[in-house]
Amino acid sequence: MTQFTTDAQNAYGVQDYSPRTTIEGVEIVPLRRFNDDGGAMTELGRLNGGQHKDLPGFDVRQINFSVVEPQAVKAFHLHKRQTDVWYVPPSDKLLLVLADVREGSPTAGEVMRIVLGDGNSRLVRIPPGVAHGCKNLRPADPGTIVYFVDVQFSVDDDCDEGRLPWDHFGEEVWEVEKG
């Protein structure tokens, strides 16, 4: 067996490959991407009367498209009633940070980090009370998000679009993990 130098042996560790902490109610739905020599297509969902086939109980009321500038952080959004379902195209790469701030939730205080896009096609369901934001990890290109919501946006007294400061869960949640 190979022996390491004292400095290397003292610093040596094994990466943790155990499953990451999840937040109750957050769902990740893998999507199929169909590609051929002429391009690619990803089916984001089949709707029947506004109900998404792969997200039981989620009634689509509005579909939005958002652009995030290179390296920009857009956070934290928070809703009392609204569920979001996010999709980031495989050509983009965004870090989604989720934090459970629901009083009495079994996962209250948990923070999740998920890389979206980067060759993958999947949806992420974000329930009410889970703060969410993203960082575009691409250094030179804008990133895009297509998201579905079950509450239509309103600027009046019925507005369900709240905010927390971008660093509410610490600046380090936005840093690329090293190691």
- Burial (CB count <10 Å: 0-12, 13-18, 19+), residue 128: middle
pLDDT in tens, 93-108: 999 999 999 999 999 9
Domains in the chain, please, with CATH?
19-34+42-152 (2.60.120.10)
**How would you classify residue 23: left for phi > 0, otherwise alpha for psi between -120 and 50, otherwise beta?**
beta
Rounded to an integer, the average pLDDT of 130-148 is 96
Which of 8-17, 58-67, 68-77, 97-106 has the weakest average pLDDT?
Answer: 8-17
Alpha-carbon span 171 to 179, nearest angstrom = 18
143 beta partners: 68
Q: Are 20 and 127 in contact (CB under 8 A)?
A: no
Instruction: Tell the residue number behind the tokens 């990451």, with chain if given.
Output: 20
The contacts of residue 113 (CB under 8 Å, 6+ apart) are 95, 96, 97, 98, 173
Q: Are 91 and 137 in contact (CB under 8 A)?
A: no
| pTM, rounded to two decimals | 0.88
Q: Taking the C-alpha atoms of 139, 141, 38 and 87 in order, what is their torsion angle to the nearest 10 degrees?
A: 90
Maximal CA-CA distance, the chain: 69
Is the predicted pLDDT of residue 88 greater than 80, yes or no?
yes
Alpha-carbon span 32 to 154, nearest angstrom = 33
3-state SS of 94-113?
A: EEEEEEECCCCCCCCCCEEE
Rounded to an integer, the average pLDDT of 145-173 is 92
